[in-house]
A and B are shown apart, each in its own frame.
With several copies, the nearest count.
Chain A
Amino acid sequence: MSRASLLRHAALVAICLVVALPIFWLLRTSLVPPELSYDPRIWPEFSTENYRTLFAGNGFGRNYLNSIIVALGSVLLATPLAALTGYAFARFRTGGKAARFAVLATQMLPPVALALPTFMIYRELGLTNSLTGLVIVYAVVNLPFLTWILMGFFEGIPADLEEAAITDGATNWQAFLLVVLPVARPGIAAAVVLGFILAWNEFLFALILSGPSTATVPVALAALQTSNGVEIGKVAAGVALAIVPLMVVSRFIQKYLVRGLSFGGVS
């Protein structure tokens, strides 16, 4: 190995360490006894106590299940709606430029400004402290963004394909279901993954709209950081577990998003 190559490899190893160290330290902190959390030794003692108390004492299992239900539920509700809306925007000049702008504009409002009105409406409807309520609010909040993503994908599909299907004897609806949707699969996958991540990580609405039995993972993590002093060992365990589903969906990201999810160029 030449000297230049050696130097280059050393630099790469150093960079990897910088990136990987915090993640390693997170795991390490979660897997030592809580009283050794701040111990300077690399791995003084192995212990699953943090995980056990997190589930037994803090009911983290409940939070975890809540997060999964809310994130999955909202994405399953929002994606079909986003697909139909995005397709309408992409193909039929629905609403023109103004409607497209309106979709983007909704993304610009400060979420804090939406939180209070939502809380007041939910109180009237009895939807506070319910998973249904969170599913609905996440679906609604993410709908414009997912619509925008899918619109981009549908615009990338040549109109020829649908015209071929229609002259082949398909109805508009069949052309959409049998030709457009399958071709847009990477886009649908991207939308599902992004919608899931956004809902999984959301904190503000979850804090305001959930109650003790419906708190999601971010709310539970925040509670750990403030309730009893900072229980750093449990926080580390909770964060480690919160990342697991993101690692799972990241496989889809690698497959679909890295290629498909680039912003359009200059027209």
Chain B
Amino acid sequence: MADIVMKGVSRDYGHGIYGVRDADLEIRDGEFMCFLGPSGCGKSTTLRMIAGLEDITSGSLSIGGRDMTHTRPRDRNIAVVFQTYALYPHMSVRDNIGFGMKMRGVGRRERDARIVAAADKLGLTKYLDRKPAALSGGQRQRVALGRAMVREPDVFLMDEPLSNLDATLRAEMRLELVRLHREHGKTTVFVTHDQVEAMTMGDRICILRDGHIMQVGRPLEVYDNPVNIFVARFLSSPPMNILPATLAEGRINTEIASFDLAAAQKQAYAAARNRPLTLGVRAEDFYAEPGIGRVAVRGRLQVIEALGAENILFLDIEGQQIAARVDRRFLPETGADVVLHLDTAAIHLFDAETETAFARPDPESLRA
């Protein structure tokens, strides 16, 4: 059992500056939890508080049911993988991996056996006697992982461990980390600023902003039901399109289109009537073809990003900038007038002032 429970945890730097403020969070035993947010949002600070590398100035932290608010890092039985890998440059790969066991008094024979097993699992067997400086970036990353795994800690804490790798290697390591997690099944906290990493790796994701937790949930759950505009825009690329809107008599009115809501939507958005609203539409909810529940919008194509596998269109529609993600075969010329079809079942509605979302009905249920 190594669940992590944070209650009202804050990191106060003095002078009214907080790294994290009043964070309540439960990370379940064996869960892969991603902390996601822009730089300075407090995600690394939170991880470091769990590790014991940063003081908790108020609130409480427990790991596996035991209070660890002020426990020394070495007594928490956690392992940290740092963004810089933080390998000991004067030690061989073997000694790097074995250092933690040595510190905890594991005998030489068992230490060697576990080092060899970990190296084997991570494909490091050939490099055991090298110094870190003689390894590539990807190999260093693996040594850092090996050093963490071999100790069999209760909790893995990873602070942007993939951000120093190139794109190809990053994609590979993403898969490998998920595979390793599935094997060892240990509670893992993974900090990242990359929404793709969070979406693809986390059992759940926790989105932070300015030291506050915005939303916690399963990736697709959060993607489909973001609690506010920040989460909605941060989780997709290109960010969700945002338009001023009004709702009157079951009809949404915006600069680019007006359309009637389905019955379930009318009911769900009852509270949104006659308030200043913001309509959110994801880029992939525009289509090249018409269809049931889709409404046509017409605009001038300003830029097209043809990525090969798909195209991102940037349109000017009645003065509004709209990004749409469409099939790769739809390839209009820049400057052309383009008609796209907005899937009205997939819209999001936010309060224009508080920027919080109104709960929306499941788009699939509307289509059924």
Contact = CB atoms under 8 A, between A and B. Distances in A.
The answer on direct contact between A and B (beta carbons under 8 Å) is yes
Nearest to A181: B90
B84 interface: yes
Interface string A229-267: 000000000000000000000000000000000000010
Interface string A157-177: 010110111111111001000
A163 B80 contact: yes
B100 interface: yes
A183 B88 contact: yes
A165 B74 CA distance: 9
B84 A182 contact: no
Contacts of A52: none
A68 interface: no
Contact of A185 (B52, B76, B80, B90): B90
Contacts, number: 60
A169 B100 contact: yes
Given A182-B90, A183-B89, A183-B90, A169 B103 contact: yes
Contacts of B53: 163, 166-167
Contact of B88 (A161, A163, A174): A161
Contacts of B100: 168-169
A169 B104 CA distance: 6
Given A158-B84, A160-B82, A164-B82, A170 B74 contact: yes
A168 B99 contact: yes
Q: Which 9 residue pairs are nearest across A and B when measured between Cβ atoms?
A: A169-B103, A168-B100, A160-B86, A164-B86, A182-B90, A167-B80, A169-B74, A169-B104, A167-B73
Contact of B74 (A160, A167, A183): A167
Nearest to B106: A169
Given A163-B51, A164-B80, A168-B79, 6 more contacts: A160-B86, A164-B88, A167-B74, A170-B99, A178-B99, A266-B89
A182 B51 CA distance: 25
Contacts of B80: 163-164, 167
A88 interface: no
A168 B147 contact: yes
A180 B146 CA distance: 21
Interface residues of B, number: 23
Contact of A166 (B74, B87, B147): B74
B227 to A, nearest CB: 33
Contacts of B79: 167-168
A188 to B, nearest CB: 12
Given A158-B84, A174-B103, A167 B78 contact: yes
B74 A171 contact: yes
Contacts of A167: 51-53, 73-74, 76, 78-80
A179 interface: yes
Contacts of A170: 74, 99, 103
A160 B84 contact: yes
Scoring B79, B99, B147 by chain A CB atoms within 10 A of each residue's CB, the highest score goes to B99
Given A179-B88, A183-B89, A183-B90, A165 B99 contact: yes
Interface string B93-108: 0000001100110000
Scoring B52, B53, B79, B86 by chain A CB atoms within 10 A of each residue's CB, the highest score goes to B86
Contacts of A183: 88-90
14 contacts: A158-B86, A160-B82, A160-B86, A163-B51, A164-B88, A165-B103, A167-B74, A167-B79, A168-B99, A168-B103, A169-B104, A171-B74, A178-B99, A185-B90
